[in-house]
Structure 1
Amino acid sequence: MPDGDENADKIIYTFTDPNCPYCKQFWEQARPWVESGKVQIRHILVGILKADSYGKSAAILSAKNPGEALHKHEASTNSSLEPLQSPSAKVQAQLKKNHTLMQKLGVNATPVIFYRDASEAVKFQQGLPSSSQLEQILGAIQE
């Protein structure tokens, strides 16, 4: 699910769990890059951290505007996102696909961020990036 300008210079992918506090922190830290139009984050929703993670991911994916639903959830200090108890077959299939991809890539925590470095090599960062890692992942931001 895209977050940011579709014509951004840089596109990164991150596995995101709605209950992950580090995913939320990364989302907040990335705002200057996303809002400047320099970076688009493509969130791959998974439900692995808590019993209701799957239902919350399903609720976001089932929303009329999933990107807006994720934005509202991440921007909130006390989200009211309710887990969806009976997701559609389409949403179940998407979540299964996301979980399978995560397993195939050998990662088992969130956030996991995939990006291209300056030489265009694919790299990944598991866990919340430090300030210097943020610049490596998202690029330098000019004022």
Structure 2
Amino acid sequence: MQRRLFALTALASLIGLSACQKQADTTASSTTSSPASAGAPAPTPAGAGGTESPAATAISTAQDAYVLAATGNGFSTGPIMSAHTVYVFFDTTCPHCAHLWQAAKTVTGQLKVVWIPVAFLRPQSLPQGATILGAADPIAAMDENEASVAHRGNGITASTSLDDAVIAKVKANTSMFKQLNSDSVPLIVYRNGKTGQVGQHAGAVTAAELLAFAGL
């Protein structure tokens, strides 16, 4: 297993990670060993970030990161009750998040994924994230947004009557994301159901890699 993890890490360093960052000259980092999907789009520089609360003390261990992620404000896809759950911090303007959303849809019957919107990349990230989180059907709203972004669109039209409480939840998610010491989205936080290993990965992955994180 260790040899396989080392090989995957080496491969990831060669092909790069598929993630969106706020600074174009910053390379995505990952605390896991999984490479990004070769079919994912190239990283894109971000513009002005959204508004969020100041980040609290950074999380120092993977276990703490998983516990913290479980308190995020998001919506889930897949089985309601599942021993295999991963958490994904996403930004509505990130094409790599759209890539991961499409990949995850193919394993909905096997894996529970909690999608946590953050206001990280652009000013519209906050209202769009709140629109999705506060929607009557968040999955349908997410589908609309990710389909648009995947085709180089501007994403879902933000609601003009956003609830302050929902906006506060997205801001809290953003603060939480910064505690996880990541500078890229999507950020996947996972626990392997077989080995108990916990970790996080910055970047889009294939459906098979997503299942492997969870131990499936």
Question: TM above 0.5, one fold?
Answer: yes
TM-score by length of 2: 0.57
How many angstroms apart in 2 are the aligned matches of 1:29 and 1:17? 16
Match of 2:146 in 1: 74
Indicate the SS of the match to 2:185: coil
Out of 21, 33, 39, the position equivalent to 2:111 is 39
- Cα deviation, residue 29, structure 1: 1.2
Match of 1:124 in 2: 200
Q: How many residues align?
A: 138
Q: Mind listing any 5+ residue stretches in structure 1 that lack a counterpart?
A: none
Match of 1:134 in 2: 210
Q: Is this contact kept in 1: 2:189–2:201, CA < 8 A? A: yes
- Cα deviation, residue 56, structure 1: 0.8
With over 3 angstroms needed to count, the CA separation of the structure-2 counterparts of 1:97 and 1:25, relative to structure 1, is same
Q: Is this contact kept in 2: 1:56–1:81, CA < 8 A? A: yes
The percentage of counterpart residues that share the same residue type is 27
Q: Which moved more, 1:15-24 or 1:48-57?
A: 48-57
How many angstroms apart in 1 are the aligned matches of 2:207 and 2:79? 23
Indicate the SS of the match to 1:25: helix
Match of 2:165 in 1: 90
Larger Rg over CA atoms: 2
Q: Mind listing any 5+ residue stretches in structure 2 that lack a counterpart?
A: 1-74
Higher helix share: 1
How many angstroms apart in 2 are the aligned matches of 1:80 and 1:74? 7
Q: Deviations over 1:91-143 (max 9, x none)?
A: 12101210111111111211000111231121111112257633422555xxx
How many angstroms apart in 1 are the aligned matches of 2:93 and 2:214? 23
Higher strand share: 1
Q: Is this contact kept in 2: 1:23–1:128, CA < 8 A? A: yes
How many angstroms apart in 1 are the aligned matches of 2:106 and 2:207? 13
Q: Is this contact kept in 1: 2:94–2:185, CA < 8 A? A: yes
Indicate the SS of the match to 1:33: coil
Q: Which moved more, 1:129-138 or 1:5-14?
A: 129-138
How many angstroms apart in 1 are the aligned matches of 2:178 and 2:155? 29
TM-score by length of 1: 0.82
Counterpart residue identity of residue 32, structure 1: T
How many angstroms apart in 2 are the aligned matches of 1:85 and 1:107? 31
Counterpart residue identity of residue 51, structure 1: P
Out of 179, 186, 193, the position equivalent to 1:104 is 179
State the superposition RMSD in angstroms: 2.3
How many angstroms apart in 2 are the aligned matches of 1:5 and 1:63? 20
Match of 1:55 in 2: 127
How many angstroms apart in 1 are the aligned matches of 2:77 and 2:147? 13
